[in-house]
Amino acid sequence: MSQSLSQLDPAVLEALMTMVRAKGPRNRPMTVAEIEAAVFELLQYVGSTLTQEAVAEQIAAAEKRGTGRPAAGTRCGGSGVGPARS
């Protein structure tokens, strides 16, 4: 997922910039430290949200398609303890 900023959708980039600007003071320009803090906070939020959504999406897709093979231990009966019987 290594895209440069020039490859981001302009609408996405503008939305991210708006979120960073919203963290700044209303009566003066943001300092570099304030911008960095706002970007860091945004990345923490977006990163955890995207991670949760990606994991949920992958779990749902896996449940939908299944594994395509039986689960371990379903081929024969018994408790699975002790020597195998013929």
| pLDDT digits 0-9 by tens, 67-76 | 655 555 555 5
Position with higher pLDDT, 86 vs 16: 16
79 within a domain of the structure (yes/no): no
Give the pLDDT confidence score for residue 40 in this predicted structure. 92
5 within a domain of the structure (yes/no): no
Using an 8 Å Cβ cutoff, are 20 and 35 in contact? yes
Range of the structural domain that residue 57 is part of: 29-65
pLDDT for residue 16 is more than 60: yes
Give 16: exposed, middle or buried? Use CB within 10 Å, 0-12, 13-18, 19+.
Answer: middle
Give the pLDDT confidence score for residue 64 in this predicted structure. 85
15 within a domain of the structure (yes/no): no
pLDDT for residue 2 is more than 60: no
Which phi-psi region, left, alpha or beta, contains residue 31 (left: φ > 0; alpha: ψ -120 to 50)?
Answer: beta
pTM: 0.52
24 within a domain of the structure (yes/no): no
Please state the domain count of the chain: 1
CA distance 74 to 82: 17
